[in-house]
Amino acid sequence: MRTTLNIDDTLLARAQEVTSITTKPALIREALKALVERESARRLAKLGGSQPGLQFVPRRRLIDDSD
C-alpha cells in the first residue's frame, strides 16, 4: 500500500544511523513492527500475569542423580 508520510528529517536520519537500515520503507516497516511488539508486551503486562482460578499444571522435570 502506498502512503505519503511527513516525517521529521532529523528523526529519520537518527533512526537510520542507529539501525543501519538505509531504505526508508524498510525503516518504517521495522519501526511499525517494533511499535506493535512494544504495545503487545504492554498490554500483556497490564493483564497482571495472574489468574486466581487457574488449576496447577504438572510439569516434567529431569531428575538429577548426581547429588
Per-residue confidence (pLDDT) for residue 34, from 0 to 100? 97
Please tell me the predicted confidence (pLDDT) of residue 65: 66
Residue 58 is predicted with a pLDDT of: 82
Long-range pairs, 47-54, Cβ under 8 A, ≥24: none
Confidence class for position 47, pLDDT limits 50, 70, 90: confident
The arithmetic mean of pLDDT across residues 4-22, rounded, is 96
d(CA 23, CA 42): 29
Q: Do 11 and 22 meet the contact criterion of CB atoms below 8 Å apart?
A: no
Work out the mean pLDDT of the chain and round it to a whole number.
Answer: 88
What is the signed CA dihedral for 28, 34, 40, 43, rounded to 10 degrees?
-100
Looking at per-residue pLDDT, the higher value among 44 and 66 belongs to: 44
> What percentage of the chain has pLDDT greater than the value 70?
91
d(CA 39, CA 31): 12
